[in-house]
Structure 1
Amino acid sequence: MVFTAKEFLQLRETLQIAVVKCSERCLYQSTKWAAELLNSLPPLSVADIASSQNTPGTYVHPAFAPNNDPIEAALEAKELGQYLLAKSFFDCKEFDRCAAVFLPESLLAGLLAPPNDASSPVPGDKGKATASSSSHEVTLPVLSQKSLFLALYAKVISGEKRKDEESEMIMGPQDLGTITNKQLLVVSRFLKRWFDERGSGAGESSASQGFLEYLYGMVLAKEKNDEEALSYLKESVQLFPWNWGAWLEMTNLISRVEQLNIVTPKLPQNIMSFIFHAHTAVNLYQQGQDLAMSINDLISVFPTSSFILTCKALLNYHSKDLMAAEQDFSNILALHPHRLDALDHYSNILYVLNLRPKLAFLAHLCSSIDKFRPESCVVIGNYYSLLSSHEKAVQYFRRALTLDRSCLSAWTLMGHEYVELKNTHAAIESYRRAVDVNRRDYRAWYGLGQTYEVLEMHAYALWYYKKAAGLRPWDGKMWQAVGSCLQKMGRDRDGIKALKRALLADSYYDTSASSFGSTGPVDRMTQMDPEVLLQIASMYDRLEEEDEAKAYMELCVAQEDGGAANAEAGVGGGGGTILGDSVAIHADSPGAGSDGEAGEGAERAVGNEGTGVTVATSKARMWLAKYSMRMEDYETATRLATELCQDGVEVEEAKALIREARSRMEPVNMMES
């Protein structure tokens, strides 16, 4: 992506306009996002600044120029005093006062009362019926779009504030998650009527600015009317593409890659659409060279943008390249040491890699910057979780949710902590609330599956595991969970298919890792997961298919030295070499890093040095030794049993097997002699 000097100037000017327009409407997060993006552009030279101002003494930046629409300009000039008063109320968080400047409660009650609220007319009394119907023919107030947006947006924020105040304590007995924003109905009815009147062409109207479409789309999304919400949000970004809040709402509504591919061609084809596509793809857990190249192109335009750099870090995180993701977050922290956004993800990575000193430093840094930010509470909670202080961790995750009930990381991680505390009821409730916040969160679905599996409710666990696997089809851990659950349900054929897919999925991550900043090309001779191979072999054994069981047992044993025999084994369904998943992600598995295994797994993620002797490989060796005894191959049985004695696993049984093999070999040797 190459920009000329003139295009850089245009982009800079457009972002400056976006900052001003979003700030005027109190869209603080969108203002911050546009301002950060603006300041991540390469600095202008003096010559560029001079060329952009024809007459420097009288230059007025377009962001501060009068509205080009004469109707809107006249209304804004007329309402300037009221607008400044309303904005000052909003800035002071007096949202009801802000809305009342332009839309008093009496006006809204008269406009929005449904017809059946009026006194019912007596049958046959036409006069009363006419009076009743005419009482609802109240016209909407004539306001500029900027003032109307500010008033209605204040109404929505007021409703959200009151909703939080009325909600019970997090996970308390009355916290059912059923409290709603009562102002949504008022704002929704008002905007529907406003758009209907403009659509009917009643009177002379000015061109829409895109912000009211954004507000209506946001309200419809909160009311679960996703299809219509997406329609209004697409219209909003067509009219004003630089409002990042509208793009974020669209990201939240898109749940599948297929849906993203349908929506993208209908969006304005500019750099905002490019950023949106990359950001949404990362949120949908997509990987691939194309996505990595798109993000690198954006970094070439915005080299110090914390948002774009975070997208790159999350891309590495989701593709299990944890070392690269940790390095990316470390660089972001060096560039923006006071930025707390997305540091909860960074703390997850440090937890998995068992980097306690770095996590302690991050927790201290977040606490010193702002201890009452949800991200700070999540980071501190992760730190206590790494110390196995699970009660303390729960306390901080609850504090994060008190500050922001839509904090997805806090709900999911609190579920993990409740699993550690053996409080399965609270864990299930935490995961369910996480799914309510974001149905794309595979970690919560996976956590629900694990919790129900602990309760031995395998049918429920299988359903949730399948949901997680549907969201992460190339994550071996998801399919391994599905296969294990099917195995416990006695569905061995289906379990074998799922576990073979787990092996294939792991190879996808390992072989694509080099696309996301790994240390080099990945060797195709990397080991497979011996646990998965042992499970597949055991299921074949139960199905009395000994040849298949033997092949997988041999593959399992071969993983001790890096799986060098894999290439010629030809695993059924996979074909050729398949790589294993050796990184346990904390966000996927509750408590995965508490014993330090995750850190070791991260070190084994690259290379093919082998797993060494494990419980799984020892079980496979024992099975092969007994199989050799049944096949009267006593020399092989003796060799395998001797290896088991050296491994120190099942020593007594291995010694018994050696004695039995030797006793059977003696008559054979005597007969041969």
Structure 2
Amino acid sequence: WELISTIAEGYRLLRSCACEDALSIFQSLPLSHQNSGWVVCQIARCYFEMNNYGEADVYYSQVRKVEPYRLEGMEYYSTVLWHLRKNVELAALAKELVGIDKTTSEAWVAVGNCFSLQKENDLAIKFFQRAAQVSPWCAYAYTLCGHEYVTKDELEKAAGCYRHAIVLDPRHYNAWFGLGMVYFRQDQWGLSLYHFDKACKINPMSSVLRCQVGKCFRESGQHETALAHCLAAVKLDEQNGRAKFEVAKVLVELERYDEALALLERLRDSTFADAPVYFLLSKIYKHTNKPGEALLNLMTAVDLDTSQIGSTGHMFAMGDESGANMMVAEDSTLFENSESNLDESESDSLCS
């Protein structure tokens, strides 16, 4: 009875999005139970919910070895492989799951993720709809379908999918978040914040969700409130470079350039150094009358953006990149010459 109670408590914590606590409980079980397929699958799910896709991959791979015919939970494994951009492994998983049972949502979600990774959005939608057809109660299939519609900029269809997912599972925070993103893209800040707040109440430990709330406040001009939420996001996950970048953007809006510069320079020296970091650095150097440094960072941003073109898909739930090329196009007079006369336009990019 004590063993069952412990496992049940771990599962309750996982469903309550208290993933670190759930992980501690599952990993405290006797090895004979800890290494069972079901428990290993729950451990993998904990890492998945914590956005630690590398560790999730390790444990889901272990599940496949222990119970090669397990279908439960494999839809999340396919999403892990999607995030890790493991094309071959994802295709193999999808083929295996369809071979085991083609009447399950897990199999068709994996196929949909496979096509999504190849940027075949219409085919991905078709297979996510197939997953919902064979398992009408599968909220996750509707949510992924919504993500694909967002990628195609068909926001009304996306909103319909998210609403259906919420009806099926009111605690499915991914759907609340997706619906918030739809309103965010439509500049409806009030509705966006309402849905993000719903998602945060279900999963209060998510740094990504908290950061998105901060971004929404920033877009609506409430910079001090935005800063508080973004700092809270960083506190929840010190490894969340997107949240740190959002903090820097708010600091720039508040004209606290020294603080923003210090933070961005740390990001630049980390693995998070992508195009928007260098672009924002160029804006700070522009405002601090360092046109040479501004030009150098802008050119680096353009070079990086060119090499990063093509990263799309339902990662939009983690943010959306306008890209340095778009920023330069919108800010065509950023430099009247290579040394000075920096333009004052306020180009921006969205990332989390």
TM-score range, shorter chain: 0.7 to 0.9
**Is 2:14 the counterpart of 1:274?**
no
Write out aligned runs for 1:170-319 (5 A). Answer: 270-288=2-20, 290-319=21-50
1:499 and 2:230 matched: yes
Q: TM-score, normalised by structure 2?
A: 0.81
Question: Is residue 2:287 matched to residue 1:626?
Answer: yes
Aligned positions of 1:156-555 closer than 5 A: 270-288=2-20, 290-507=21-238, 510=239, 529=243, 531-541=245-255, 548-555=256-263
Give 1:617 deviation, angstroms.
2.9
Seq. identity, %: 21
CA contact (8 A) 2:45 2:56 kept: yes
Summarize the Cα distance change of 1:291–1:359 in structure 2 as closer, same or farther, 3 Å threshold. same
In structure 1, what residue type is equivalent to 2:300? D
Q: Counterpart of 1:407 in structure 2: which amino acid?
A: C
TM-aligned CA deviation for residue 421 of structure 1: 2.6
Q: Distance in 2 between matches of 1:647 and 1:502?
A: 28
Counterpart-to-counterpart distance in 2, 1:641 and 1:331: 48
Distance 1:356 1:660, change over 3 A: closer
Runs of 4 or more consecutive aligned structure 1 residues displaced over 4 Å after TM superposition = 526-530, 648-655
Cα distance in structure 2, aligned partners of 1:415 and 1:559: 32
Contact 1:613/1:647, CA 8 A, preserved across alignment: no
How many residues are treated as equivalent by the alignment?
314
How far 1:305 moved relative to its partner?
Answer: 2.1
Alignment partner of 1:647 out of 300, 312, 316: 300
Q: Aligned residue for 1:615? A: 276
Question: Equivalents in 2 of 1:391, 1:534: separation in Å?
Answer: 37
Q: Residues 614 and 420 (structure 1 numbering): CA distance in 2 closer, same or farther, change over 3 Å?
A: closer
Equivalent position of 2:339 in the other structure? 658
Deviations 1:304-326 (A, max 9, x none): 42111111111111122211111
Q: What is the letter of the counterpart of residue 640 of structure 1?
A: E
Deviation at 1:530, TM superposition (A): 5.5
| Larger mean Cα displacement after TM superposition, 611-620 or 479-488 | 611-620
Larger radius of gyration: 1
Deviation at 1:270, TM superposition (A): 2.6
The 1:647/1:279 distance shift into structure 2, 3 A limit, reads same
Name the CA distance, whole Å, in 1 between partners of 2:286 and 2:205. 35
What is the match of residue 138 of structure 1? none
Distance 1:505 1:490 in 2: 24
Residue 452 to residue 293, structure 1, CA distance change in 2 (3 Å): closer
- Matched AA of 2:283: M
1:659 to partner: Cα distance: 5.1
Letter in 1 for 2:141: A
Corresponding residue of 1:220: none
CA contact (8 A) 1:534 1:616 kept: no
- Tell whether the 8 Å contact from 1:496 to 1:539 is kept in structure 2 after alignment: no
Q: CA RMSD in A?
A: 2.6
Deviation at 1:303, TM superposition (A): 5.0
Could you tell me whether the CA contact under 8 Å between 1:474 and 1:505 is conserved in 2?
yes
Q: For residues 659 and 495 of structure 1, what CA distance do their matches in structure 2 show?
A: 32
CA distance in 2, matches of 1:648, 1:492: 25
Shift of 1:622: 3.2
Structure 1 counterpart of 2:269: 561
User: How far apart are the structure 1 equivalents of 2:7 and 2:58?
Assistant: 22
Cα 1:455/1:613, change in 2 over 3 Å: closer
1:537–1:376 Cα change, 3 Å:
same
CA separation of 1:342 and 1:659: change in aligned 2, threshold 3 A: closer
